[in-house]
Amino acid sequence: MSQVVVVTGASQGLGAEISRAFHAAGSRVALADIDEEGATALARSLDPQGETVLPISLDVRCGDNFERARDAIIDKWGAAHVLVNNAVVTAAKPVLDIAPAEFDEVMAINVRGTFLGSQVFGRLFKAAGYGRIVNIASLAGQNGGTATGAHYAASKGAIITLTKVFARDLASFGVTVNAIAPGPLDLPSVRRTVSAELLPQLIAGIPVGVLGDPSFIADVAVQLAEPRASFVTGATWDVNGGLYMR
């Protein structure tokens, strides 16, 4: 089954890794990002003919943007089967210094975006009797964060809760909803958040002694989205180098 996959925040970082992995696995991929130019560049690198990729301008804070994306995907390929809620803003700041507007911005992109995407595509998947939703959470949402801010950690914790709610309500309709909670990954966003001086200290605190591989996270997303993954739902998959064990 060649699936149609929607990846939010697809133009760079982990989103680009996830998009490449799905495309390499034979899926048709809608590259959704507020950075339409970046999404278009990635689409051209994956398929210059544009047959198996579709760049889409998407602001995850807006429900009508998700609806337009859904309609564009159906117009091109006739269906959608998988949503990966990856779009994120990463923020690090002492909790007593976070302004209300900063808190709201992080929650709007990370949590509201996940909610709206899951709602719009969840309705589509429910009607079709099949679908896969994969949410990108974080270790910070489980342990309160160490190198990130309270707003980021709270947003990722909320994503884990939303995963359970959507999983419960959509399970009987052939739709699974799971989350992946990575620890620190070898990504530009991590290196921007953690200074070069503090990065060795961060890595030393990881039991396995290295940053995580983003391509492995992408592979996990692909596996969770397979049709045969029907017995996995409501789960949060820990990929954190031993920083959080349960």
- Residues designated catalytic: 152
Task: Encode 113-138: b = buried (16+ Cβ within 10 Å), e = exposed.
Answer: bbbbbbebbbebbbeeebbbbbbbbb
Which residues on neighbouring strands pair with residue 7, listed in sequence order? 31, 84
Residue 152 burial (10 A CB sphere; 0-12, 13-18, 19+): buried
Three-state secondary structure call for residue 206: coil
State the Cα angle at 84 between 141 and 237, rounded to 5°.
45
DSSP string, 103-133: HHHHHIIIIIHHHHHHHHHHHHHHHHT-EEE
- Distance, in Å, from the CA atom of 221 to the CA atom of 225, rounded to the nearest integer, reads 6
Supply angle C-alpha 201, 206, 209, rounded to 5.
90
Distance, CA of 110 to CA of 152 (rounded, Å): 8
Token digits of residue 90 = 């990463």
